[in-house]
Structure 1
């Protein structure tokens, strides 16, 4: 097996526990454990709280994390992450990380330099670092940020169009561009990425760790879930893209169904609004995110999982939390329109309802709450799907092979 050298550039990285940080960290640690040399240029932890932890070193510094050389760069973290704050956030990371990234590329001489999107403004640095070091350039797209921001009304129309025009220019200069779902790959092709440079690189889950038989009793006891209580759990980031208001609507519809308990676990810019929306509801428990080691027990404590999504985000992202939900062997109730990638992943392993429809979500929860056999059947299908489509060793093994082929082709062209 060829020993690869991979340099990764992305603003989110562990110890942040959610979303892109989790997957980037696991990818790098897995490759390092396989004997490859991996370095990461990133920012301090700050998501989903949008706050750097107290006591975290200021300025630039290096650390070793899970066998990965990790170069941290200071970044502006907006207290209220609106459009302007997010742009400044990205711009500050691009400026602070430019010199460390180029220096690392020059000294390391990597086989490939990989940028992690959705952060768009730092993307040109990845191409420059690859070009100056003779490496292949790879952009991995976790989220079509400009499209999603426009679809959700998070950006003014003129700014969103400008962002999409810039994104189109940026995407076409990479040796490889990967997406996490086929519909996202189709959108990238429509933006001008050549099909022979496009790859699917989906997210994954450790099916050996997140399992249906993990004991979640301690969490259920902490929530006050008695025998016969059906726990409907949302566990993940609490931001604008999730459309979490629908959870409060559903809980209000079912407030007199004593056997149904909604548990909403997470943090983010939208948490305060969600707390206000569920105030006074006795069938709701709000709790914070848990440590990675406690995630299997948290997911297993649920009888069913909740996965809302705003209609404007369809096929622009695939919620990373879905992998753990499926692996836990519990059915998923998702806000997903027919024909979307989210619906395709959930159908047969849960129920899909119209996005942003609280009453429809409540009906689906009530139906599953009253039918334990159906929950078991759908949960078993969810587990089987996670093992077949989302297994970590399979997904990352495919990445390793593609990186090797890209590096070999690069050597032949020199």
Structure 2
């Protein structure tokens, strides 16, 4: 296809560390690498408005403010995001706009694109329920909040020509909760070769790895309890990469269970350190119950790791029980412990399941994701050109 000028809207973008930010970056740099002119509009990582070129992508930072409930997370004001989005579209005149959010920057991008008539694609990475830990909403009002939040998501994304989400389960939620009947799945995609090439660097004992935010929906406390419940004599270490509101509590939990010397909290790490963590691990565990895809699980699979994951949300799309790992019922710490023990004590089983993980992850190649979005852009641009010819 001919090179396009593409504007990507994002509520979070590197140096932020989370799955949505990593996807937005991979989408932007991947499209840029294919010859498109790519601009990203996102909250400024430092506060003041900024503009810089990173990896061939022009990043426009909307003036932002630190969010009091989440250290290191920047948010924008609606009355700032919309005018900036409008002015940027007037300046660059994008061929297509692709929002990856609907809250503040995303809402401003959608509103500006809709008013200006630019073709719009929307991709959802958010469950509104995940925001409850960062909003002062009384417990008795949370069900009402969730219903209103999903409807709001539907109203905003309903202005897009095409709506996607990373997995069939994520699409089901958009249809059932937000009323977006035409949404369809497009994997976030990963550069599997980057992880497949990692040499396994075994430690003295096998290592269980978790990567992600240390917030309540990730259920890392269940992983810690399951690790503490391993039968006597089962070798193993637990490595936890990431940071969040529950890190101190979960560190205290490991100490209280008497396993602090076998659990390492790494905090945020660099990309090279993350690659080294995958290379040094033997089992990956994702106990989270709100994963719309889980990029870190995909990365671990590409690195050849067997996976033990919660039977929740989109994780069953990645784990084939008995083939590349196991699923367990969230909250069933005993079952999780049993599954971990089986892998920690059987190197041959780990190798066999890890090989299947690599086969499964081939379905999620970033090249296929980029192909799909290029096809979407081409389709909606063709649709707009046909409409203009008919109007003339």
Q: Please, what TM-score do these two structures have when normalized by structure 2?
A: 0.88
Partner residue, 1:22: 22
- Partners of 2:32 and 2:80 lie apart in 1 by 25
Task: Give yes or no for contact 1:98–1:125 (8 Å, CA) kept in 2.
Answer: yes
The answer to whether the aligner puts 1:184 opposite 2:170 as a matched pair is yes
**Matched residue SS, 1:381:** helix
**Matched residue SS, 2:309:** strand
Report the CA distance between 1:105 and its aligned residue: 0.7
Report the CA distance between 1:122 and its aligned residue: 4.2
Superposition pairs of residues 3-402 of structure 1, within 5 angstroms? 3-45=3-45, 56=46, 58-81=47-70, 92-117=76-101, 119-146=102-129, 149=132, 156-190=142-176, 191-195=178-182, 198-211=183-196, 214-215=198-199, 217=201, 225-226=203-204, 229-254=205-230, 256-257=232-233, 259-279=235-255, 280-281=258-259, 282-310=261-289, 313=290, 317-337=292-312, 341-347=314-320, 348-387=323-362, 389-402=363-376
What CA deviation, in whole Å up to 9, does each residue of 1:7-62 have, x standing for no partner? 111121112233111110111011112111111111134xxxxxxxxxx4x41111
Name the CA shift for 1:395/1:256 in 2 (closer, same or farther; >3 Å): same
Report the CA distance between 1:278 and its aligned residue: 1.0
Task: Give yes or no for contact 2:223–2:333 (8 Å, CA) kept in 1.
Answer: yes
What CA deviation, in whole Å up to 9, does each residue of 1:144-172 have, x standing for no partner? 3248859xx79723322322332232232
- Partners of 1:12 and 1:148 lie apart in 2 by 14
**Matched residue SS, 1:120:** coil
Name the CA shift for 1:8/1:344 in 2 (closer, same or farther; >3 Å): closer
**What RMSD in Å do the two structures reach over aligned CA positions?**
2.5
Report the CA distance between 1:293 and its aligned residue: 2.9
**Matched residue SS, 2:122:** strand
Unaligned 5+ runs, structure 1: 46-55
Name the CA shift for 1:79/1:360 in 2 (closer, same or farther; >3 Å): farther
**Matched residue SS, 1:77:** strand
- Partners of 2:66 and 2:224 lie apart in 1 by 28
Unaligned 5+ runs, structure 2: 134-138
- Partners of 2:41 and 2:81 lie apart in 1 by 7
What CA deviation, in whole Å up to 9, does each residue of 1:94-117 have, x standing for no partner? 333222211111121112212112
Report the CA distance between 1:63 and its aligned residue: 0.7
Report the CA distance between 1:123 and its aligned residue: 4.1
Task: Give yes or no for contact 2:42–2:61 (8 Å, CA) kept in 1.
Answer: yes
- Partners of 1:257 and 1:149 lie apart in 2 by 40
Name the CA shift for 1:284/1:361 in 2 (closer, same or farther; >3 Å): same
3-12 or 141-150, larger mean C-alpha shift: 141-150
**Matched residue SS, 2:378:** helix
What CA deviation, in whole Å up to 9, does each residue of 1:169-202 have, x standing for no partner? 223222111111112212322332242xx23221
Task: Give yes or no for contact 2:52–2:58 (8 Å, CA) kept in 1.
Answer: yes
Task: Give yes or no for contact 2:85–2:112 (8 Å, CA) kept in 1.
Answer: yes
- Partners of 1:318 and 1:303 lie apart in 2 by 21
**Matched residue SS, 1:156:** helix
What is the number of residues matched between the two proteins? 377
- Partners of 2:156 and 2:282 lie apart in 1 by 44
What CA deviation, in whole Å up to 9, does each residue of 1:208-262 have, x standing for no partner? 1101x52354xx6xxxx41xx1111112222222111112201221284351111
- Partners of 1:367 and 1:255 lie apart in 2 by 10
